[in-house]
Chain A
Amino acid sequence: MKKSKKQARIAQEALSIAPEHILEVRDLKVDIKVDDYTLNAVRGVSFSMKKGETLGLVGESGCGKSVTSKAVMGINPDNCSARGQILYRRKSGEIMDLVQLEQDGPTYRAIRGAEMAMIFQEPMTSFSPLYTIGNQLSEIILLHEPATTKEQARMRVLEMLEKVGIANPEKRIDQYPHEFSGGMLQRALIAMMLCCNPDFLIADEPTTALDVTIQAQILDLMKLLQKEFGMSILFITHDLGTVASMCDNVAVMYLGEIVEYGSVHQIFHNPQHPYTKGLLRSLPKMNQSREEKLYVIDGIVPLPVNMPPCCGFYDRCEKCVKGVCDCQAIREYTVEPGHFVRCVMMEQRG
């Protein structure tokens, strides 16, 4: 990611993405250096997002979903190196390749927070315990819009707190994070991210740490705000239930690859990849007979060290074709428009 400014400028010139898209990720690869080996955390991920769309990035721990989203946000630690393209349409209409940008550079800092925001899994650790909620929320406005006075910023924060359903915002704004419950903090975090009116939001397991009744409240709130502000949301989760109720499209990740991509209906009603099928079948369902045994995907997710370009799922897959799945790169097959799957089984079907 360290290139000279001139090189970066040249690289930025000839970029274009489809007019309805806000984000196009092309063949993104992220390696993480750990001690004496390298993890191939993301191994060639491509996807695009339309304006106002909610894309679910689903997978188990270690599948690379968080690393992918942090690469978009430019907040991966220094031991990560990204290759490929992350093309992003800024509010001004300008298209930038975020991979080429310096992570701590002025352009990225202008994008982060103001145009692109992220909410994290643990609302309890996302705030500093030393400053009031109001202080932390107005900071982002004062940073991105230096012309704003403190009073104006405070008014905006109050408005946002009210918008996310925090009762008694005049009192709450001067309280510290420890005086908030988990659900209220998540609301405050959403208010913080709304302060600068971003049009692209990354939500990394935003409700995993919350109770179910609170989760339902937060998901409803996010849907409502998305409608009002027209945001695109990249929704990262391992919870297929949340995905079904939140997302338009779903990308299923396994070991650093998107193994299947489709609309939420295509993925849940007509899954094609053995991993997607297994994942859906291994989930206890509310309308399933209790006598039925749960389907089990044998084995565990391996560490992606020195991965050959092959299907990451081959050693856990029932349908694995020896000599193909474990040594060849698997291309993407189209099931029907908008539904892609990375599996050799599709070849045999023709």
Chain B
Amino acid sequence: MEKNVILEIKNLSKVYESKGASVKALTDVSLTVNQGETVGIVGESGCGKTTLGRCVVRGIDATSGQVLFHTEDDGVIDFLQTTKAQMKKYRKDIQMIFQDPYASLDPRMTVFDIISEPLRYNSNLSKREIEEAVGKIAEQVGLNKAYLRRYPHAFSGGQRQRIGIARSLILQPKIIVCDEAVSALDVSIQAQIINLLEDLQKEYNLTYLFISHALSVVRHISDRVLVMYLGKVVEFGETDALFANPMHPYTKALLSAAPQPDPDAVIDRVVLEGEVPNPAAPPSGCHFHPRCAYKTARCAKEAPPLVEHGDRMVACWNCGCCSEAD
């Protein structure tokens, strides 16, 4: 399949202002997403991965930058510049699946109402057509049609996540932002949902932005992976290559910290000292330098730009320092 760019994020920044302090949740994040691919976004809490997802669906307004959506008929649209009315037209193309299947469904709506709500606002379908559409999508995500008149509390976590997925699919979106979509689920249910997401992607040529802190899940589902640290992209590249040979010291530490389900796994663990710094007062220069084993004098002074290294984008002054050390 040829690569059709569907989404371009350019220099996206988000600053949260509160009394006297401003927190840079996102700094200059750029990324291009092709149709039909899955881009994994990983990082620890506070790295801005959720903010990125929300800015893309315009759940929150970014401070600066562009989110360019390539539409089929109207050319390229900047989500951040569109009016509310225009936005409404494109909202249906970009949907979201949330982390907590308990908090993201209204307990006072039946499952049918939850799944059909987007249709009622975004289409002129008759009651009957809506019913058909909901029935079809429910079947596809593995929900029993007989249970659609029940309320969310009657469903298990995995079933609720299927309801959330059905709701996000009903408008036939092109892009789905999955924010920790499987993190709250048990292992056996997690596998069911991951396979479901993959099947749906094949069938509808969906594009996923898959936000997660679970590295093994991200590796499994993503074509390309974006690693974030304190609001900045530190590394971006093809999944297999990135996991096999991380070029940023943070990526390397993150990968080595992930526990593997094999008692004999030889893990050359890089245990990072300290914790993620307070994003309201980030360290100077490269945000990662206080915890980095390879830091040089330059790292504390200047922030490294995201530079291409072959197929990879890396933001490190001493790029490759950590892979040579092996």
CA distance A159 to B93 in the complex (A): 58
Is the C-beta of A60 less than 8 angstroms from some C-beta in chain B? yes
User: A181, A219, A288: which contacts B275 (Cβ < 8 A)?
Assistant: A181
Residues of A within 8 A of B217 (CB): 284
A188-196, A225-233, A291-299 - interface stretch:
A291-299
Given the interface contacts A184-B275, A211-B276, A297-B191, does A284 sit within 8 Å of B219 by beta carbon?
yes
Q: Are B187 and A283 in contact (CB under 8 A)?
A: yes
17 pairs from A and B in contact (CB 8 Å cutoff): A60-B186, A183-B275, A184-B275, A212-B215, A212-B254, A213-B44, A240-B261, A241-B258, A243-B261, A244-B261, A245-B263, A269-B263, A283-B187, A283-B191, A283-B216, A284-B216, A284-B217
Residues of A within 8 A of B45 (CB): 211
A34-42, A168-176, A274-282 - interface stretch:
A274-282
Q: Are B240 and A286 in contact (CB under 8 A)?
A: no
Say whether chain B's binding surface is mostly helix, strand, loop, or mixed. helix
CA distance A178 to B142 in the complex (A): 43
Is the C-beta of B239 less than 8 angstroms from some C-beta in chain A? yes
Q: A213-B254, A265-B264, A284-B191 are in contact. List 13 more A-B contacts (CB 8 A).
A: A181-B275, A184-B275, A238-B187, A244-B262, A245-B259, A283-B187, A285-B262, A286-B215, A286-B216, A288-B220, A294-B220, A296-B191, A297-B188
Residue of A nearest to B265 (CB): A244
Interface residues on A, range: 35 or more
Number of interface residues of B (CB under 8 A): 44
Q: Across the A-B interface, how many residue pairs have beta carbons closer than 8 Å?
A: 123
- From residue 230 to 281 of chain B, which have CB atoms closer than 8 A to chain A? 239-240, 243, 253-254, 256-265, 267, 269, 271-272, 275-276
Residues of B within 8 A of A220 (CB): 271
User: A211, A282, A298: which contacts B44 (Cβ < 8 A)?
Assistant: A211
Residues of A within 8 A of B263 (CB): 244-245, 264-265, 268-269
CB distance from A175 to the nearest CB of B (A): 15
Q: Are A290 and B220 in contact (CB under 8 A)?
A: yes
Q: Are B258 and A286 in contact (CB under 8 A)?
A: yes
Is the C-beta of A217 less than 8 angstroms from some C-beta in chain B? yes
